[in-house]
A and B are shown apart, each in its own frame.
Chain A
């Protein structure tokens, strides 16, 4: 690592102070993200409370296998991301790169499964509109509207996450991180774990409504 490079920037006087500021700033951003998705979750709560039977029937057309596999993929990607942050704390840039590369692969795997699932959903006429699946009550379109918007917005966040992790992985390849300075890796980790948490809630709400009656 270049000994003249100092990651300590003004206005901070000490590295721990800079790290604290980054952490608080990241959590402030995540608070906005909680509200961003929160509004969609609120819409879900309102409409599921109003049309519980339509929502139950509508959700039975989601593909549980794909949803479960994707949940497992994201949970595992959080593990590899956390291990990557830990490696960064130990100053082991080579290992950081490997864990981040695996995390990115899991991200792509998630998108791949989502793509296959979306294709099948469209084949099954689950796009709200004039050609919507006729055997479902009309209010089921509200569920499916929420499905497409919530998983779509989530997928956009996964994509952004893949780009972010790629950038950090490139920095790791350039041996930028050390025990004194690994904040960017940790902050990227916070973002990725947040995306995982959103999916942790999307999964049961979209895929697991009274599956016993499916």
Chain B
């Protein structure tokens, strides 16, 4: 198992804090539809940093990657199929849940 240096851990932590203030700052600026994109992109970036470095997934064997991916794939299936249903219905969005 490869050894992750203390320096790497501190750099990742610093990056996470920078991203934290970036996402807060971005929310205070009107970027229109982009606000959502920026917020989610930063959240995913933070998640990958924690996942790959703090949780060592970057250094794990392929079989572990399969197990890690499984949870996320099922989540994507759940969100994808449910939202796919709603957004492809032939009726106005706001009446969807109030019928």
Contacts and interface: CB of A to CB of B under 8 A. Distances in A.
Contact of B40 (A71, A79, A204): A204
A86 B50 contact: no
Interface string B64-97: 1001101110110011001100100000011011
Given A211-B27, A212-B28, A28 B79 contact: no
Contacts of B56: 186
A200 B35 CA distance: 16
A102 interface: no
Interface in A144-200: 186, 189-190, 193-194, 196-197, 200
Given A31-B71, A35-B74, A50-B94, A208 B79 contact: no
Contacts of B35: 210
A71 B27 contact: no
A136 interface: no
B27 A204 contact: yes
Contacts of A31: 67, 70-71, 74
B47 A35 contact: no
A82 B54 contact: yes
B42 A204 contact: yes
Contacts of A50: 93-94, 96-97
A75 B63 contact: no
Contacts of A213: 30
Contact of B46 (A34, A49, A89, A200): A200
Interface string B43-67: 1001100110111100011011001
Given A68-B20, A189-B55, A212-B29, A34 B75 contact: yes
A62 to B, nearest CB: 12
Q: Which of A31, A68, A81, A207 has the most CB of B within 10 A?
A: A31
B86 A76 contact: no
Interface of B: 1, 3-4, 6, 9-10, 12-13, 16-17, 20, 23-24, 27-30, 35, 39-40, 42-43, 46-47, 50-51, 53-56, 60-61, 63-64, 67-68, 70-72, 74-75, 78-79, 82-83, 86, 93-94, 96-97
18 contacts: A20-B63, A34-B74, A42-B82, A46-B83, A75-B16, A78-B50, A82-B9, A86-B4, A86-B6, A89-B3, A186-B56, A197-B50, A197-B51, A200-B46, A201-B47, A203-B43, A211-B24, A212-B30
Would you list the 5 A-B pairs with minimal beta carbon distance, nearest first?
A: A31-B71, A208-B27, A34-B71, A27-B67, A211-B27
